[in-house]
Amino acid sequence: MIGVRNGARSCARLAAVGAHVPERVVTNAEMAAAVDTSDEWIATRTGIRERRFAGPEEASSDLGVIAAQRILAAADLAPDELDMIITPTASPDHIFPSTAAIIGERIGARGAAAFDLSAACTGFIYGLAMATGMVETGLARHVLVLGAETLTRVTDQTDRATCVLFGDGAAGALISAAAEDEATGFLGFELGADGSGGPDLILPAGGSRIPALSKPSRAESCINMNGREVFKFATRVMIDSCTRLLEALEMDIAEVDLLVPHQANIRIIDYAVERLGIDPERVFNNVDRYGNTSSASIPLALSEAHDNGLLSPGDLVMMVGFGGGLTWGSTMARFEPA
């Protein structure tokens, strides 16, 4: 892509959403046959009843390609019109090349800039902020923000404390330029990180600290999590981030048509929803069927809400995420399909 600031001002529009999940459904009963857990424990502690597992030959980009094609079809946009692909992911195909570049090549988005974004489960919100900046400065017209994850590959399937939580999937959104007076687009973002909590949610090996060549242990090669600390952090930042954003926008939560939170645990969501004072009918959840799909989780919920007729043009959508880093973020946007 070539981006030149020409003085024209545009607005970043949430133009299309889409998703793809692998076929294989793994129920809590199936998890209970593999590790010492039960449907009752998983459902009451997390709200998860089943999740999807990628096939042995499927990597994150394979899921991402299908999701990307669906989003472009929904927007009626040719792949070569994309200026940029941002792939937030905690389970990229490789450290490099980026999963975004692999997806771009396979969908025919030749020439589009492409990179992966590391903000774990908050990655989609961070990616939306990057895309909004690119579009609103006139440097790009169409940016695809596409979370693509195969977290089951980096989860120890013998560790009951983590394996029941995560699932695979890909989902995202197209952010396109609209004339400034045409759309209201993204009204604002609240983003942050607290690196002191990094060790509470970490995949230790594979980078420069514990290189793959050093033959890391099984534990170092999988997600390590301090569940209780992450739970406390998640409830706190979900409430704080949404509250700070609403205050900055001088808006009331009652104005939000749909809240789409990161789908990690229904208890985290229910607690925050109660404290935020939003009608639970206006909160979309699908954690029961997919578990935590990290950077794909918010757009997967957004896409399903749209498919279920819960998202109409002009609706005000608030999204909020939290995850490894530790990171958090929220945004408010009008859904304005092309």
Which residues within the stretch 226-245 sit at the binding site for ligand COA (CB under 6 A)? 227-228, 230-231, 234
285 flagged as catalytic? no
CA distance 327 to 72: 29
264 binds ligand COA (CB under 6 A): yes
Instruction: Give least dist CB 321 to ligand COA, A.
Output: 8
Instruction: Give least dist CB 161 to ligand COA, A.
Output: 4
Q: Which of 11, 121, 222, 242 is catalytic?
A: 121
CA distance 68 to 58: 16
Task: Give the largest Cα separation in the chain, rounded.
Answer: 61
- Helix H, strand E, coil C: the string for 49-79 is CEEEECCCCCCHHHHHHHHHHHHHHHHCCCH
Shorter beta-carbon distance to ligand COA: residue 160 or 334: 160
Instruction: Give least dist CB 76 to ligand COA, A.
Output: 34
Stretch in the footprint of ligand COA (CB under 6 A) among 35-43, 61-69, 110-118, 279-287:
35-43
Only one residue has tokens 């600031």, namely: 5
Sign of the CA dihedral running 250, 241, 126, 312: negative
Which residues within the stretch 146-165 sit at the binding site for ligand COA (CB under 6 A)? 160-161, 164
DSSP 8-state assignment for residue 283 = B
Q: How many CB atoms lie within 10 A of CB 310?
A: 16
Shorter beta-carbon distance to ligand COA: residue 143 or 165: 165
Burial of 35 (0-12, 13-18, 19+ CB in 10 A): middle
20 flagged as catalytic? no
Task: Map residues 188-227 to x or -, x wherever contact with ligand COA holds by CB under 6 A.
Answer: -------------------------------------x-x
Task: Map residues 299-328 to x or -, x wherever contact with ligand COA holds by CB under 6 A.
Answer: -----------------------xx-----
Burial of 280 (0-12, 13-18, 19+ CB in 10 A): exposed
Stretch in the footprint of ligand COA (CB under 6 A) among 4-12, 38-46, 171-179, 311-319:
38-46
CA distance 268 to 262: 10
Structure tokens at 265: 């645990």
Structure tokens at 30: 């199936």
115 binds ligand COA (CB under 6 A): no
CA angle 29–286–42, rounded 5-degree value: 30
22 binds ligand COA (CB under 6 A): no
222 flagged as catalytic? no
DSSP 8-state assignment for residue 234 = H
287 binds ligand COA (CB under 6 A): no
Question: Binding residues for ligand COA, per CB under 6 A?
Answer: 37, 41-42, 45-46, 121, 160-161, 164, 225, 227-228, 230-231, 234, 264-265, 292, 322-323
- The catalytic site residues sit at 121, 262, 292
